[in-house]
Structures are given as C-alpha cells and as structure tokens.
Structure 1
Amino acid sequence: MKFKLIFTLLVSAVASIANAQRPVPDHEKTKGGELTIQPINHATMVLTYQHKNIYVDPVGGAEAFKGEPAPDMILITDIHGDHLDPKTIDAVNTKHAILVVPQAVADKLPNADKSKLVVLKNGESTTKFDIGITAIPMYNLPESPTAFHTKGRGNGYVLTFGGKKVYISGDTADIPEMRALTGIDIAFVCMNLPYTMDVKTAASGVLAFKPKVVYPYHYRGQDTGEFKKLVNAGDKNIDVRLRDWYAK
C-alpha cells in the first residue's frame, strides 16, 4: 500500500513537471459545456470538450503529451513533419482515436485503421462526438505547383463546440477563404516565413474576418507582440492571446 502511494506521487510529480513547461490552459464556456485549450508546442495543441480530447497535429513523441489524457480524436492539417509524425501518432494513440485528415496525410498512413480514418477535402464537413468539423483551404500565395503548401493538399479546420466556432489555420497565407470566414469565436493563426505569413499579413487577415479571440501559433521567429499591436490598432475588441508555444 505504501509503495503504491509513493508510486502514485512520483507519477503525479512527473506530470506536474511536464505541465509546468506548458502555458496554463485556457477555458472557454460554450452552450455544450467547457472547452479547454492546452497549447503544447508550435502547431500542436490539445482541445478538450465534453470529456473528449482532440490532439491537433501531434508531434514530439509521447514525451510532449505527459500528463494529458489519451486522444479520442486526432486532427492533422498537412504532411510536413511539424504537423504529421506517424511515430508520435503511434505513441499517443490508444487505438480508439478517430483520425481526421486530408487525403495527402491519409496516403502517408498506410497502416492506419481505415475504420478510424475520416478523410476530408477542402469544403467537406462531418460531425464527431457532437463536434462539427469543416475542412478549410490552406495554401501559399501566389499559388504555384512548387509552393510549400499547394491548394487542396492540406486542411485548415473550423470546429464547432456547443455553438462556438474555432478556426485552426494550418499553414496558410492570407487567402480569400480565410478572410471570408464569419462568426469565428476563437482563431489560431499561423505566422512564420518563408512558409506561411509575416506578422503584418497575418494581422491584416485577422482584421478581415474579426474573430472574437485570436491566438498566434506556429510563429517561430516572429514578433507576436507586434502582431497584437497591429490587430488591436485595427480593432481593440479582438482579444489577442499571447501564449508561449515554445516553452522548454
């Protein structure tokens, strides 16, 4: 009994250390209950709603998710290694998680359980665990066959939790499809050159579709303080939340 107690305390301590390296999670109220937002690193996060856990672009191995509950859904935006890591999926997936992916990602997961694989093209939608999921284009401008991100290959996503709409940009430029979004409550918007947008362009895009809350993410090497300044100069009512997605 004493050994079991000591073991439990050690596990708890390890989890606490891992969690201490991450930003404190945010909690948002929805009509269906609380949505918890836990940044992990770069483009990776965990969203929890109605006791269901969504891993977005899980990379970094099992170590990156210490202390986090197992995923019920894994959402992947693109084929690049900072979004798709089959070894991490294998490490964190308890075999019951649904994988929501674009076709290009599915092609790189030949051993995935097809009954757990949901493939969405840009513009397609589905509902899982009472969560609405719509695939949104993500691509570079100007469009080119040799661009880092070509139109139709990857997915951004709009998720609907109890009436609250959450936009995850994936790797995109300031594209018309993003600027045309409406009713977005929370947005995660990328910014890093030369792969996506610079700070000024990302701020311009955000001011076009005006989410209530925006998190800059996938921003390695960019000045998120300047992003906040630009967004709030254009619209002081947008809640720009700066979190350290690169904490060690």
Structure 2
Amino acid sequence: MVLDPGIELYWYGHSMFVTTGDGTTVAVDPVPPEVGYRYDPVEADVVLMSHQHFDHSFLAGIKGGGSPNAISAAGTFEVGKLTIEGIASHHDAQQGRQRGPNIIFTWEQGGVRLAHLGDLGDLPGPTVMKKLTGVDVAMVPVGGVFTIDGEQAARLVRDLAPKVVLPMHYATPDCSIKLDGSDVFTGRFGGEVRTIPDRPLKISADILPVKTEAWIVPYQ
C-alpha cells in the first residue's frame, strides 16, 4: 500500500499559512509587517487571498519567480496538481454590507483536504457547510472583533467536525491588532487541545486523529 506523502505546513501569524505538497506551494492571506509578524519573502506557486484588506493581501511577502498566481475570487482553479475551490461567504453578519465579501478556500494536497476560512464574519449556511464536508484540516479565525469569535468558532467546528482545527487570527504577543486570545476558543471547543512545537508541521492522512483536535502551532 502506498501512503499519501502528506504536506508541510507553516503558520506565519495572523491568517497566513504556507503549505507544500504534491510539488506545489500554496500561500494564503500573506500578512504585512505592520501587523507585527516579520519573515523573509516566501516562495510560492499560488497565493490565495480571502479578501483585499491590508492584513491579508501583502503580495510583497511572496516571491515566486517574480509573479506567483494570485487568487481572490470564488470559483474553481487548477494549479499544478491541485484543484482549489473558492467559496463565497461574508466578512460580517450583515451579508457583507459592513466589511465586504470573504472567500473560503478548500483544496486537497498530499492526501489531506484543507480549508482556510479567511476572515469569516458569520456562521455559514447549509450550502457553504455542504461544500466543506469532509475537510481534514480547517484553519479557522477565532479572535473575534473582525471575524467570528471564539464561541462561534467552537460551534462551527463542532458542526464541521474536521480532523484538526488550526486556530488563527487571534491575539499573540506580536500582533498589533486588538483581538481575543485563542483561549476564548479553546475554552469552549470541548475537544482535545494540543500545542504542537514542530515547524514545519508535517501532516499526512495516516496521523490525523479520529475525533476533532485543536492544534496550537508556532509562528515564525
């Protein structure tokens, strides 16, 4: 039996993640240094941006031979061996009237199905939830203020039931934006919470837990 090779995943703080697998590197929601997270430019084949706010669309933080693909819309996109789906949602609880649209991205990489929920501002309806069925690893905002808060995130994760949830967009010692800490979410999550020191985080289908776990990972 041939096992799926899995992926390597980095969190760079805020909502920025980079995943590598199947010969492709995906960067999501690149964060600028003004938010407090500093890093060397990251090489990527494609950049996914949930929306155009400054703290999620710092293309200067990405290098990819000069011009990586940048996707910030709903639809289906082919990048290398990956099929990436952008799903329309809202950045607020007023159908986007307050803060605009938000794109949720899903893709399978290295045998692991991932979802990045961007700056989700309201709990998704049944149409969106159906598209998220079967997600293994969900990157979910939990810091409130500009997104769903920790209590809403915990409710969403219980309904979505991914194998792993990676909290994001929350207060850290380096974050310059006022947000709630991850403890608001983890205190209401109800499942096992693990602090994973590994960087990169290596994830493959054979190590995924049976019941949903929240993994707190380091940022660079």
1:174 and 2:174 matched: no
Structure 1 unpaired stretches of 5+: 1-29, 103-120
1:98 and 2:73 matched: no
TM-aligned CA distance change 1:60 to 1:140, over 3 Å: closer
> TM-score, with normalisation over the residues of structure 2?
0.74
Q: Contact 1:140 / 1:196 at 8 angstroms: preserved in 2? A: yes
> TM-score, with normalisation over the residues of structure 1?
0.67
1:53 and 2:25 matched: yes
Deviations, residues 89-133 of structure 1 (Å, cap 9, x unaligned): 4xx24225222222xxxxxxxxxxxxxxxxxx2xx2122111121
Q: Contact 2:6 / 2:21 at 8 angstroms: preserved in 1? A: yes
TM-aligned CA distance change 1:204 to 1:161, over 3 Å: same
Q: Contact 1:138 / 1:171 at 8 angstroms: preserved in 2? A: no
Q: Contact 2:32 / 2:54 at 8 angstroms: preserved in 1? A: no
What's the counterpart of residue 225 of structure 1? 183
**Residue of structure 1 aligned with 2:107, choices 118, 134, 159:** 159
- Answer with 167-176 or 189-198: which moved more: 189-198
Structure 2 unpaired stretches of 5+: 172-178, 193-209
Aligned 1:130-169 pairs, distance under 5 A: 130-144=81-95, 146-150=97-101, 154-169=102-117
For CA contacts below 8 A with separation 6 or more, give which structure has more relative contact order: 2
Provide the rounded CA distance (Å) in 2 between the counterparts of 1:73 and 1:145. 26
Provide the rounded CA distance (Å) in 2 between the counterparts of 1:98 and 1:145. 26
Q: Which has the higher strand share?
A: 2
TM-aligned CA distance change 1:233 to 1:87, over 3 Å: closer
Provide the rounded CA distance (Å) in 1 between the counterparts of 2:109 and 2:156. 23
RMSD of Structure 2 on Structure 1 (CA): 2.7
Q: Contact 1:190 / 1:196 at 8 angstroms: preserved in 2? A: yes
What's the counterpart of residue 200 of structure 2? none
Identity rate of aligned residues, in percent? 20
Q: Which has the higher helix share?
A: 1
What's the counterpart of residue 205 of structure 1? 156
Deviations, residues 23-51 of structure 1 (Å, cap 9, x unaligned): xxxxxxx9542201100121112111134
Provide the rounded CA distance (Å) in 2 between the counterparts of 1:76 and 1:215. 18
Provide the rounded CA distance (Å) in 2 between the counterparts of 1:74 and 1:141. 23
How many residue pairs match? The answer is 189
Q: Contact 2:14 / 2:31 at 8 angstroms: preserved in 1? A: no
- Name which one, 1 or 2, has greater alpha-carbon Rg: 1
Aligned 1:116-127 pairs, distance under 5 A: 121=74, 124-127=75-78
**Residue of structure 2 aligned with 1:72, choices 21, 32, 45:** 45
